[in-house]
Amino acid sequence: MSLNLATLLTESVKRHPTNTAIIFDDFKMSYGQLHAASNMFANALLNNGLEQGQKVAMMLPNIPQFLVVYYGILKAGGVVVPLNVLLKAPEVAYHLEDSDSVILVAWEGFLEAAAGGYRENPTCKTLVVVNAPGSKNLPPVNGATGLDAFMAQGKPDPILTQTMPDDTAVILYTSGTTGRPKGAELTHFNMFFNAWCSLKNLGLDYNENDVTLMALPLFHSYGQSAVMNVAIGAAATLTLIARFDPVKAFEIIQRDKVTAFSGVPTMYFYLLNHPDRKKYDLSSINKCTSGGSAIPVEVLSAWERETGVKILEGYGLSETSPVASFNVAFKPTKPGSIGEPLWGVEMKVVDEFDKELPVGEAGELLIRGHNVMKGYLKRPEATAEVMRGGWFHSGDVARMDEDGYFYIVDRVKDLIIRGGYNVYPREVEEVLYGHPAIAECAVIGVPDQALGEEVKAVVVLKPGQTATEDDLRAYCRERIASNKYPRIYEFMDDLPKNATGKILKRVLKAAKPAE
């Protein structure tokens, strides 16, 4: 039995070829046009020697070409490697090398980082540049070509390479509190069925008449799987925002009569608290979901009070395709809860010995089911560690109530979630330790009303060395993505440690900031 994730598109185009698939400002693309364009890209990939199972990285914002490239890679039998558009050149180089990507497709606005990373990786042979209309900007590197010229090498003839359900479809890079980012291998079945369950089992009745606001970044697992693939599977319309902005969101909701909105808590916070909110008609919205991080109960209540629409909150990780649990429309919702496991998914709460805990007790959340990844790319030991006993160990602390609803209590890991994006302290600390004036440092998350958490660095300087907050901020901004670098700094003479010399981050989190 074969299965290709791109079937979501090929089946929708059979039923609704003239339906609008994408709106981007004044641009519109039908399902028939998206299908033909992705066929052209797929055939161009094959004409350029792409072999089944080879990886193609893409560094694109929320633009129509993202969908053309994404489904084109899948149709050609390739593996999609979406990259965070905020990555810097050394980070791009690492991801290309680790994933063994042979082609990189990048937006011209990210050319400095994309071309820089591409130059450092000899195994990536082709750089395809997606130019803005009227632009032909290409970097002076071998193998660089524009998207239009590349696609001209293919024909719009239908193509859907036969792939198996357990073949890798997408590699999503994630990290942890130790080590560098790891690629979670998600199969065609993982991704297809996660989208299908979100489409059919949340009680939201997504259909071809829906218009979905795509404000989440498409490279992120939430936007890519639970929004884009769901909308394409329903033959609905995706109206894209290149970068989230409350006023732009208001304008598009009103203009396109948006019916469905999925966002991280930060987005709901900004929309609710914008001074011009009352100027816009949001009455078309009838479906709202939230994920990425816990949404404050007061935001849930305020949104329902202002719009009359409940926000259904869910939970997931890159390793779980991403949806693992959700509050559903046809059952009572519980504010503060991440709901019940997705159809066909099991979850339980265990102690440090993986023994299941009784109702109400907090422990690590474990997950198993059709949504759990194949494993971490080229990292069998890391895979074995998180998949002990056949259950994925999330690293999050949760509890379950008597009705089977789950609640995230805390994190086993030191993961920081800033505006719905994961920030991994070890990665930031490694950058800080490269600064010549720093002797010791610890990166922690501190509460922030709008973002949920902000990134803070606690720093000890070497004797005789000096550095200001502005110095360190500029240093980090040049080396890591803009969502990761610390905005807040505190200087200390020494960091609290235990007997073995381990820095006690819990003490730093509990301490009152120095005056």
In terms of Cα–Cα distance, which of 327, 322, 325, 324 is closest to 311? 327
Q: Assess if residue 401 is contained within a domain.
A: no
Whether residue 171 sits in one domain with residue 48: yes
Whether residue 97 sits in one domain with residue 219: yes
- Provide the pLDDT for residue 335: 87
Q: Which residues of 377-390 are buried (b: 16+ CB within 10 A; e: fewer)?
A: bebeebbeebbeee
Q: What is the dihedral of CA 215, 372, 412, 457, to 10 degrees?
A: -40
- Provide the pLDDT for residue 500: 46
For 221, 291, 303, 452, the CA distances from 296, given in Å and listed in that order, are 22, 12, 11, 9
Q: Assess if residue 354 is contained within a domain.
A: no
Domain boundary among 257, 287, 307: 307
In terms of Cα–Cα distance, which of 221, 108, 125, 241 is closest to 171? 221
- Provide the pLDDT for residue 177: 45
Q: Assess if residue 182 is contained within a domain.
A: yes
Compute the distance between CA of residue 231 and CA of residue 236 in angstroms, rounded to an integer: 5
3 state SS of 369: strand
Whether residue 301 sits in one domain with residue 161: yes
Q: Assess if residue 375 is contained within a domain.
A: no
**Where does 128-242 have alpha helices with state H?**
147-151, 188-200, 221, 230-234
Whether residue 421 sits in one domain with residue 291: no
- Provide the pLDDT for residue 412: 65
Q: Assess if residue 324 is contained within a domain.
A: no
Amino acid in position 72: G
- Provide the pLDDT for residue 64: 98
Whether residue 278 sits in one domain with residue 427: no
Backbone angles phi, psi at 369, to 5 degrees: 150, -170
- Provide the pLDDT for residue 512: 66
pLDDT in tens, the chain (515 residues): 899 999 999 999 999 999 999 999 999 999 999 999 999 999 999 999 999 999 999 999 999 999 999 999 999 999 999 999 999 999 999 999 999 999 999 999 999 999 999 999 999 999 999 999 889 889 999 999 999 999 999 999 999 999 999 999 999 998 654 568 999 999 999 999 999 999 999 999 999 999 999 999 999 999 999 999 999 999 999 999 998 999 999 999 999 999 999 998 889 988 998 999 999 999 999 999 999 877 878 889 899 999 999 999 999 999 999 999 999 999 999 988 999 999 999 999 999 899 999 999 988 999 999 999 999 999 999 999 999 999 999 998 899 999 999 998 866 667 788 998 878 787 888 899 889 999 889 999 999 989 999 999 999 998 999 999 999 999 999 999 999 999 999 999 998 976 445 688 888 988 766 55
> What pTM does this model have?
0.86
Domain boundary among 307, 326, 349: 307
Q: Assess if residue 313 is contained within a domain.
A: no
The CATH number assigned to the domain holding 161 equals 3.40.50.12780
The CATH number assigned to the domain holding 497 equals 3.30.300.30
- Provide the pLDDT for residue 421: 85
Q: Assess if residue 312 is contained within a domain.
A: no
Q: Assess if residue 456 is contained within a domain.
A: yes
Q: In which domain, by residue range, is 214 found? A: 7-307
Question: How many domains does the structure of the chain reveal?
Answer: 2
Domain boundary among 284, 307, 330: 307
CB-count exposure of residue 483 (10 Å: 0-12, 13-18, 19+): middle
